[in-house]
Chain A
Amino acid sequence: MILNGSQILTQVLMEQGVDTIFGYPGGAVLNIYDALYAVRDKLNHVMTAHEQGAAHAADGYVRATGKTGVVLATSGPGATNLITGLATAYMDSVPVVAITGNVGTDLIGRDSFQEVYIAGIAMPITKHTFAVQRVEDLAGILRRAFQIAQSGRKGPVLVDIPKDVTAATTEFEPAAPLPLEQPRKPKQDKLEEAAAIINAAQRPMLFFGGGVVAGEAGDELRHLIEKADIPATYTLMAAGVLGCDEPMNLGLLGMHGNCTTNYAVDNADVLIAVGTRFSDRVALNPARFAKRAKIVQIDIDPSEINKNVLVDCAIVCDVQEGLHALLPMIEPAKHEQWHEQIRQWQAKDYKPADDPGILKPHQVMQAIYEAVEEDTIYVTDVGQHQLWAAQYVRHTHPRSFLTSGGLGTMGFGYGAALGAQTAFPGRRVIHITGDGSFHMNLQEGCTAVSYNLPVITVIMNNTVLGMVRQWQTAFYGKRYSSTDPHRKTDFVKLAEAFGAKGRRCHNLAEFREAMEWAKAQDGPVWLDCMIDKDEKVLPMIPAGGTVNDLIID
């Protein structure tokens, strides 16, 4: 059949199983929006307040569902507004396909109105970018874009389509999605080497990251842990893969992990790293990270081997396949002495003091957890509240704690929460943010209201930029440069101005009551939680430090 470029785009999106896209219209994508109008019953378009919000929404949609997300923006500023969202997705290996319009091919390269070379700008923050030149190439490029986004280590791909290509017609033949490119198979000799290292371990630790979520390898991970009696710790990207009540799950590792996990990794004789990239928030000092351990790494991306930390044995493959192949070679073991040592560390680990008279961050997190259903999706922004949520929300399911780990994007949360709520209208979505992060993208309040998305936003409001201020307290002699902006924003009134609802809370009882009230509302709610500006995220290991530098007060 003969279709124009815009119709080809909508057809290929539907071929790929896409039923929801996030975006914002504009001049260069008028033809595309016209084609979307024709298929509006099959392809739901969610319009945000800003393209950045749309990019984060597509990202949150992916993180919650495991599907590929789609974001659509016009040329020029529409396209550049996607950049922070694409970089966020790239750092956390999230498969998003970004479609941008561009000026017509006859206007490209002439500094035309709303022209920008987005395929070049996005190059270092995507897996790949395409600049379509001819309508005949469009369907093939779009199918390839989905294949690249989903194959191997996943990530964002951008397809830039000039306006004349969206109008030009060509013959279109429907086709099934391209098969995914297969990752490398685990090598037998490396598996044997890894098994020998693990079987000889006295003090083994397992450390896993977002690759286990992307590779859906939670069950295999659990089997390995149980069979070889290996305690486990995780990065921010992998919260919820193991339930918080599973005894082998010691909790979060790294800069704001607990003391026990950091001591355990430091003292381990074998460290098995699965689907993780030894980021500088975990391997704070790469030369001294797990310095007593032989390190076995399983990862799908060969460029992650020896990138930050040199390893003793590397298996490059899909993590699920690698763990599955490794399991039969692992001998059942018990490490009672090691567990005893870990229990001693746990008994002495950092515990924040309760105070129901005010709002203590850890108590807010516990109160949220106690108030909501087990299948709740938690989405955070970036800063102190993000780490409190990582530490004190009791994570029990993968894809239920959505956070910007690699890029650390303040302003990620609200868009991502709206994306998650769009994917799962029946599940509770809690957006945990701070007053600093929320100010960056709170205009998406209008989107939450327009689509009646009942996200509950919990604002940990300390009136300052808490995380930066915490560093100023610890390392800059309490010189609070530009972290106390004296803003007078009234979040309750602002929620109401958007057409949402809001409440302010000063103590735990008020907060618990506000949560019950929020749950009963049919639409977005903002809860403004006043906390002390001197609250810190603890424990903390400073950048570049080791367990010897742990700060607990």
Chain B
Amino acid sequence: MERQLEKQVMSVLVDNHAGVLARVVSLFSRRGFNIDSLTVSATNNPALSRITIVAQGDRVGMEQVIQQTAKLVETRNIVALDTSRSLLRELLLVKVEADETTRGSIREIAVIYKAKIIDLSVKSMVMELTGEPSKIDAFLEVLSPYRIIEMCRTGVTALERGSGSAEVAVF
């Protein structure tokens, strides 16, 4: 069986209980799936939370982990997002070394990428950027000649376009 690894984005609606995240994460880990990023957030229904998971895997393996996750008692719905029809967003905070010689050129990059400068000191600058993961990657690539002191990315959070919501894949 040819195993082609691809990036998968799964959106899981779960009961808003203590311990639900542990169940989902433990399931991924014991079935041998590596999580690239994971976000948990409130929804418009206070009884439910949304977990957005980005993971690498082949199609058969991902179907398997989706079916396993769907079986958890506290899973209400799980959808493998079609990334071409979905809105994927991530938030970046990055602290860059910036003195009077480099500040101007870093600011120029920030303007082009529509990143916000949210803190400035004599030797550094902190920027904030929201966008698709590929945009964040590109922004960091352009910043690579400068020294990045610290950074963090939130991981992807996502919704499908339009008014529908896909059901669990059914065999």
- A residues with a Cβ closer than 8 A to B are 119-120, 123-124, 127-128, 131, 148, 184, 190, 287, 301-303, 305-307, 310, 314, 316
Any A CB within 8 A of the CB of B23? yes
Provide the bound-state CA to CA distance between A120 and B30, in Å: 14
CB-nearest residue of chain B relative to A316? Answer: B171
Q: List 15 A-B contacts (CB under 8 A).
A: A120-B22, A123-B19, A127-B73, A128-B73, A190-B171, A301-B71, A302-B71, A302-B170, A303-B64, A303-B67, A303-B68, A303-B71, A306-B64, A310-B1, A316-B171
Q: Are A316 and B68 in contact (CB under 8 A)?
A: no
Tell me the minimal C-beta distance from A195 to chain B in angstroms: 17
CB-nearest residue of chain B relative to A308? Answer: B64
Provide the bound-state CA to CA distance between A303 and B1, in Å: 19
Any A CB within 8 A of the CB of B149? no
Q: Main SS of chain A's interface residues?
A: mixed
Q: Are B22 and A314 in contact (CB under 8 A)?
A: no
Q: Are A148 and B73 in contact (CB under 8 A)?
A: yes
CB-nearest residue of chain A relative to B29? Answer: A124
Contacts of A303 in B (CB 8 A): 64, 67-68, 70-71
Contacts of B90 in A (CB 8 A): none
Tell me the minimal C-beta distance from B66 to chain A in angstroms: 9
Beta-carbon contacts of B14-34 to A below 8 Å, as 1s and 0s? 000001001100110010000
Which of B26, B27, B60, B67 contacts A302 (CB under 8 A)?
Answer: B67
Contacts of B71 in A (CB 8 A): 301-303
Provide the bound-state CA to CA distance between A306 and B60, in Å: 7
Q: Are A123 and B26 in contact (CB under 8 A)?
A: yes
CB-nearest residue of chain B relative to A148? Answer: B73
CB-nearest residue of chain A relative to B30? Answer: A124
CB-nearest residue of chain A relative to B59? Answer: A306
Tell me the minimal C-beta distance from B71 to chain A in angstroms: 6
Provide the bound-state CA to CA distance between A305 and B170, in Å: 11
Contacts of A119 in B (CB 8 A): 19
- B residues with a Cβ closer than 8 A to A are 1, 19, 22-23, 26-27, 30, 60, 63-64, 67-68, 70-73, 170-171
Tell me the minimal C-beta distance from B72 to chain A in angstroms: 8
Contacts of B1 in A (CB 8 A): 287, 310
Q: Are B170 and A310 in contact (CB under 8 A)?
A: no
Given contacts A303-B67, A303-B68, A306-B64, contact A123 B171 (CB under 8 A): no
Q: Are A123 and B22 in contact (CB under 8 A)?
A: yes
Contacts of B19 in A (CB 8 A): 119-120, 123, 131
Q: Are A302 and B171 in contact (CB under 8 A)?
A: yes
Q: Are A305 and B22 in contact (CB under 8 A)?
A: no
Q: Which 10 A-B pairs have the closest CB atoms?
A: A303-B67, A128-B73, A314-B171, A303-B68, A302-B67, A305-B171, A316-B171, A124-B30, A307-B64, A306-B60
Contacts of B170 in A (CB 8 A): 184, 302, 316
Provide the bound-state CA to CA distance between A124 and B68, in Å: 12
CB-nearest residue of chain B relative to A297? Answer: B171
Most buried by B among A123, A128, A190, A303: A303
Contacts of B30 in A (CB 8 A): 124
Given contacts A303-B67, A316-B170, contact A123 B73 (CB under 8 A): no
Provide the bound-state CA to CA distance between A306 and B71, in Å: 16
Which of A120, A148, A190, A310 contacts B60 (CB under 8 A)?
Answer: A310
Tell me the minimal C-beta distance from B78 to chain A in angstroms: 12
Contacts of A301 in B (CB 8 A): 71
Provide the bound-state CA to CA distance between A53 and B30, in Å: 27
Tell me the minimal C-beta distance from A314 to chain B in angstroms: 5
Provide the bound-state CA to CA distance between A388 and B44, in Å: 59
Contacts of B73 in A (CB 8 A): 127-128, 148
Provide the bound-state CA to CA distance between A184 and B171, in Å: 10
Contacts of A131 in B (CB 8 A): 19
Contacts of A148 in B (CB 8 A): 73
Contacts of A184 in B (CB 8 A): 170
CB-nearest residue of chain B relative to A306? Answer: B60
Tell me the minimal C-beta distance from B42 to chain A in angstroms: 21
Most buried by B among A123, A131, A287: A123
Provide the bound-state CA to CA distance between A131 and B23, in Å: 14
Given A302-B70, A303-B70, A310-B60, 16 additional A-B pairs, CB 8 A: A119-B19, A123-B22, A123-B23, A123-B26, A124-B30, A128-B73, A131-B19, A301-B71, A302-B170, A302-B171, A305-B171, A306-B60, A306-B63, A307-B64, A310-B1, A316-B170
CB-nearest residue of chain B relative to A313? Answer: B171
Most buried by B among A124, A131, A184, A190: A124
Provide the bound-state CA to CA distance between A301 and B171, in Å: 11
Provide the bound-state CA to CA distance between A310 and B64, in Å: 11
Contacts of A316 in B (CB 8 A): 170-171
CB-nearest residue of chain B relative to A181? Answer: B73
Provide the bound-state CA to CA distance between A38 and B94, in Å: 66
Tell me the minimal C-beta distance from B46 to chain A in angstroms: 18
Contacts of A314 in B (CB 8 A): 171
Provide the bound-state CA to CA distance between A128 and B68, in Å: 13
Most buried by A among B60, B63, B67, B170: B67
Tell me the minimal C-beta distance from A245 to chain B in angstroms: 36
Provide the bound-state CA to CA distance between A216 and B98, in Å: 72
